[in-house]
Structure 1
């Protein structure tokens, strides 16, 4: 029987398709296995997926089975994985932006939050600002200091000392906001004074970090000061148009979705056009597409029912299919064997210490000054110290724009894994279940009880965060 033309074994399009599908199958299998193992050891699924990406790269598979690794990820497959991962990141950051509740307050007084009882909106706002500043400034300052110290040994020669230092500080100041939100939800603390305050502050930290990266990317990508200024001004105009123009136009759509609790196909076309169009525009002006996706998310209607329907429609596909591809692509660029020798290990130790101390101590002391107990304060410090997927996105942008070297990228991947893995142990050490149970408010629907045992039944696509 003759082969149909488009099934010809010599057809390069079919050959590339088969290679890409095989690579994706390998990625999904590794992510599923490592994600399950992470859950078994009481770690977030995202940690397992991050590790799976590293294991598929030159760090392990490339050493143990170099032939298999090369066959699974040949050179012509990597550009396709890059495109898919970029689309996945843009959609994911869109969902992160859409999930941020602009109107959240730090909540009413509850047991263990001595400083929040009866306070007005102004005082709540000051507390949010204090925790947000404490979450970003100490890590930024320490990161910049470490970056200045290691510039000569680790930076690319075509990157200025201040660019390198600022990028490192920005990367270390990130918090994995979606991961933090998921942990608080699972444990029934999302409506407690501690939970509300932490969620708002973490969202502010991430917004500031992404804006910071957008400016740094524009400065680095510009052919001169005027080009960088043009990119920054266009980004400001874009943000204004999205948040004050497009957001208004989307309100009727939000009202209809909130009423029906679901999206029609036509409504999903509108959402997809907005987010991908925003990503295309920001890429076009010299700022990475994830910034456009994030701003598009902030421009979405703020109704809780709309956000729930949006996440229910999109997050499964993004987290199960696209994000593992991003982790694998990051793993292909990670060479942990380069983090060897006294010099590189010392650099890793200093990067890790700067990020950890800045977040853990800074946020812990800020919470204590607001009247929270030391246990609550250190629990928040541990959670805010998790960087998860956020730092991987940040440093992948830095690597693609040639702001950081391969060695620095690998060090920061290791920092991401260690800080993410440490978040839950630090939280549990500070807040044992007996103490945590007293903080769960009636609004959580599970007073006095941790929701950790319910996590498997309520598993959402937010596992990716």
Structure 2
């Protein structure tokens, strides 16, 4: 078979297997389709399918096919990160800055602290630290991975539980938006290359200048032209960030964050996010699964994932409960917010991919982080929905209305 035919076989597998698991297994309550796609990516990787059927795995996922899949995955994740940047609403966060700042700071700071302590445990053992990492980069990277909240998946889960349009849901979006800014800021700091700092400073200066002109131009265009220009802007920003030694995903986020959601019809923006998730993000999940590695031993990887999951969830819940006491929230509210904010999935996986690309972490650490992200996301709905039912049944409207 030629490369095109094998590529199409791979694409058929990528879309068929997770859909069948999701539909026939009726997993939607604890694992939405996007989570099943991530899990399937791991199962199709070298550590599972590659070990069970090495010849078939090598035939389907040969270097030429992987290169083609990676190109699709790069564009998919850039589009997704750009949309995440567009959807950040910092105006509301500024309007409620005391409450948002305290909650977002504690919700990010506690899991970051505990995650950094867990990273120190891994730091002293072989097989976890990337070849290009300084100790502080590894500790900060793993710590921040434990603190990440996946804003796009959070939106999807809150829609499912009918919380998104409620005042509580809007508050949670404010907290997650502030944390998103911090996450990408820390990532940019970790990726600062002092041997290429001149390039990076030049990129940031050029980006600020071009962003000013870009925003002025976008104000003058009709919406159809704004969509076209946004895609050009995305490619330019991603190229500039990657050329300077940051990463194309940092550029994609910057491209989105300087755009106003009001420039676009909200329904079309929602549809774009939905269609990117449906049509091309599964390829990114597969390419992510192909990067997993179990060479330090399956038990060691699962143990590291369990440690990271424990510090991630406990840190997020602890931070939000402290915020709830400071801000005097009604009983039960901190638990609901904490469990929703600990959702990981996509943004953490994107974050970990960048760390792996830059050799800050190894494939084994990446695998442990991936397992942690999947487990934390699968816990969200089963933990939150019963709490919401109890609050609604008891008539404590303030806990939902905010």
1:38, 1:47 within 8 Å by CA — same for their partners in 2? no
1:368, 1:374 within 8 Å by CA — same for their partners in 2? no
1:182 aligns with 2:156: yes
Task: Provide the secondary structure at the position in 2 that maps to 1:303.
Answer: helix
In the TM superposition, residue 25 of structure 1 has moved relative to its aligned partner by: 1.6
1:247 to 215, 238, 252: 215
1:164, 1:403 within 8 Å by CA — same for their partners in 2? yes
Q: CA RMSD in A?
A: 2.6
TM-score of the aligned structures, taking structure 2 as reference length: 0.90
More displaced stretch, 18-27 vs 326-335 = 18-27
1:250, 1:301 within 8 Å by CA — same for their partners in 2? no
In the TM superposition, residue 394 of structure 1 has moved relative to its aligned partner by: 0.8
Whose Rg is larger? Answer: 1
In structure 1, the partner of 2:238 is: 279
Q: Deviations over 1:135-194 (max 9, x none)?
A: 211111112222122212122354221111111111111101111122223333234332
Unaligned 5+ residue runs, structure 1? Answer: 1-8, 10-14, 107-120, 258-262, 448-465
In structure 1, the partner of 2:55 is: 67
Task: Provide the secondary structure at the position in 2 that maps to 1:404.
Answer: coil
1:20 aligns with 2:20: no
Q: Deviations over 1:317-375 (max 9, x none)?
A: 4212321111001111113575534x545433322222111112212331343232232
1:196 to 160, 163, 170: 170
1:189, 1:439 within 8 Å by CA — same for their partners in 2? no
Task: Provide the secondary structure at the position in 2 that maps to 1:172.
Answer: helix
1:386 aligns with 2:386: no
1:370 aligns with 2:344: no
Quote the Cα distance in structure 2 between the aligned partners of 1:231 and 1:269: 28
When residues 267 and 195 of structure 1 are mapped into structure 2, their CA distance, relative to the original with a 3 A threshold, is closer
When residues 34 and 391 of structure 1 are mapped into structure 2, their CA distance, relative to the original with a 3 A threshold, is farther
2:392 to 432, 435, 443: 435
Q: Deviations over 1:42-86 (max 9, x none)?
A: 432221111111111123322333222222211221122122111
In structure 2, the partner of 1:320 is: 278
Quote the Cα distance in structure 2 between the aligned partners of 1:132 and 1:403: 26
1:367, 1:377 within 8 Å by CA — same for their partners in 2? yes
Matches within 5 A, 1:87-102: 87-102=75-90
In the TM superposition, residue 298 of structure 1 has moved relative to its aligned partner by: 1.7
In structure 2, the partner of 1:132 is: 104
When residues 434 and 377 of structure 1 are mapped into structure 2, their CA distance, relative to the original with a 3 A threshold, is closer
Quote the Cα distance in structure 2 between the aligned partners of 1:238 and 1:358: 38
In the alignment of these two chains, the number of paired residues is 397
Q: Deviations over 1:369-414 (max 9, x none)?
A: 3232232210111111110111111111111111111111111111
Matches within 5 A, 1:319-358: 319-336=277-294, 338-341=296-299, 343-358=300-315
When residues 440 and 56 of structure 1 are mapped into structure 2, their CA distance, relative to the original with a 3 A threshold, is farther
In the TM superposition, residue 418 of structure 1 has moved relative to its aligned partner by: 0.8
Quote the Cα distance in structure 2 between the aligned partners of 1:59 and 1:128: 42
Quote the Cα distance in structure 1 between the aligned partners of 2:202 and 2:397: 45
Q: Deviations over 1:404-456 (max 9, x none)?
A: 11111111111111111111122124322662795779xx9xx9xxxxxxxxx
TM-score of the aligned structures, taking structure 1 as reference length: 0.78
Unaligned 5+ residue runs, structure 2? Answer: none
Q: Point out which structure has higher relative CO (alpha carbons under 8 A, 6+ apart).
A: 2
Quote the Cα distance in structure 2 between the aligned partners of 1:440 and 1:44: 28
1:139, 1:357 within 8 Å by CA — same for their partners in 2? yes
